[in-house]
Amino acid sequence: MSRARGPGAGPGRGWLLRLVIAFAFAQGAVSMARPAVSYRALALGADETAVGVIAGVYALLPLFAAVPLGRRTDHGRCAPLLPLGVVLISGGCALSGVVSSLPAMAAWSGVMGLGHLCFVIGAQSIVARQSAAAEQDRNFGHFTIGASLGQLGGPIAAGALISGGSGALGRTSSLALLVSAGVCAVALTSLWRIEHRRTPGAGPGAHKAAAKVPVTRILGARGVPAGIFISMAVLSSTDILTAYLPVVGEHRGIAPATVGLLLSLRAAATIACRLVMTPMLRLLGRTALLSTSCLLAGLLCAGMVLPVPVPVLAVMLAALGFCLGAGQPLSMTTVVQAAPAEARSTALALRLTGNRLGQAAAPAAAGLIAGTAGAAAPFALLGALLLVAAGLGLRGGRATRASSVPPEPTPVRERDQADGASLADRSRS
């Protein structure tokens, strides 16, 4: 199987920049919509538990669709999933802003989540196919900068629209959702010729090869389960932070515009982490960087339960954003390099399935905890998840190093016998 040309090989490099731009608009729309959905649900009479359920439904449809979509991209082109994702995100955002019942909001939030899944599976598979193995950490890091850019601008825009508009909270949050639909549609302008025409896994015999790789074999590959759990813990942290910081802000008297700025500060710190990821990898190595960042993020999440003033909260969120920045790109590389070569898109889809499972279960659990122990209590749950992820990252790194130890040298007597047999074979030929 031939290797696809990486982004550093000649004139094809522009695909990565355009993919980052498209991802920034798509993620920006989602990052606008998620807090806007929470504020609109509150305006419609939802309590903390209902907000958690709506946030969980966002992940429900993707939970069942991820693996079939991954199977498809293992033996076909990835690019068609990108415009499909944009259409579903835009539709989910717009319709979440016009319906007036909580069940309908939950349903269209699920459509939004399905669109985000389509876009991310297609985009991650393109990066995996079109990047050489030595470039994957860097290219996945650059790719996830698009997500961070969206997470940086989206909450600021949502907070400004919700706080600055004239009218009730329900009306201004609806406006933010409609604007987010238009923001997502802009992503379509960067998707032309995003995928090379010839990429591994797109040949006529690839379907048969990909279909023979069972999910149990993919999950049994060393490094894949740890990468999936780490990704789930990191994304659940970002997701619950986005959904529940508005609730915490309402309880502590923090204005929606300030909440938007705090969420964007977290995203800016994540971008900073990904910009300096290459030197950090050289300094620490993947295992140490992954486990240390999860450990510090877990401690910071647990600390957010404390009713600290806004300036201290801003410092904590900046540090938390920096620590969370390493988990996603490094878990992508871990899963891609550990999975069978003919099922890498399916492995990435399993990783996204774990993400969506976390996004479905964690907000629902967070809603129950918030309903009984207070709005800030879900952050203690996130702290525990991230501490477990840190342990798995450290254990997985040790197991990988142990499996990479070179075999013991063959004893001299056995080596001489093998050499003699080899010479005899060559003389007969």
Domain spans of the chain, in order of start: 13-194+215-404
CATH: 3.40.50.720, 3.30.830.10, 3.90.1150.10, 1.20.1250.20. Which one for 13-194+215-404? 1.20.1250.20
Nearest to 246 by CA among 46, 384, 29, 26: 46
Instruction: Quickly list DSSP for 154-176.
Output: HHHHHHHHHHHSSS-HHHHHHHH
**What pLDDT does residue 226 have?**
85
Tell how far CA 232 is from the center of its chain. 8
Rounded distance between C-alpha atoms, residue 342 and residue 361, angstroms: 30
Tell how far CA 243 is from the center of its chain. 16
Helix (H, G, I), strand (E, B) or coil at 410: coil
CA R_g for the chain: 23
Rounded distance between C-alpha atoms, residue 341 and residue 199, angstroms: 13
- Burial level of 392, CB count in 10 A (0-12/13-18/19+)? buried
Helix (H, G, I), strand (E, B) or coil at 406: coil
108 in Cβ contact with 76 (< 8 Å): no
Give the tokens for residue 15: 């695909």
Q: What's the start-to-end Cα distance of the chain, in Å?
A: 31
Rounded distance between C-alpha atoms, residue 302 and residue 304, angstroms: 5
Residue pointed to by tokens 């939970």: 63
Residue-by-residue pLDDT tens, the chain, 429 positions: 334 444 333 334 588 889 999 999 999 999 899 888 988 888 888 887 788 788 778 877 777 888 888 877 776 677 788 999 999 999 999 999 898 888 999 999 989 989 998 999 888 888 888 877 777 778 888 888 888 788 778 888 888 888 765 568 888 888 999 999 999 999 999 888 777 655 444 444 444 444 557 778 888 888 888 888 888 888 888 877 877 788 778 888 888 888 888 888 888 898 899 888 888 888 888 888 888 999 999 999 888 888 888 999 999 999 999 998 888 888 888 888 888 877 788 888 888 888 778 767 776 777 677 666 666 677 887 888 888 888 887 765 554 444 444 444 444 444 444 444 444 444 444
**What pLDDT does residue 165 have?**
57
Rounded distance between C-alpha atoms, residue 229 and residue 227, angstroms: 6
Return the half-sphere exposure (C-beta side, CA atoms, 13 A cut-off) of residue 26: 36
215 in Cβ contact with 346 (< 8 Å): yes
- Angle made by CA atoms 404, 410, 415, in degrees to the nearest 5: 145
**What pLDDT does residue 48 have?**
75
Which DSSP letter does residue 341 get?
A: G
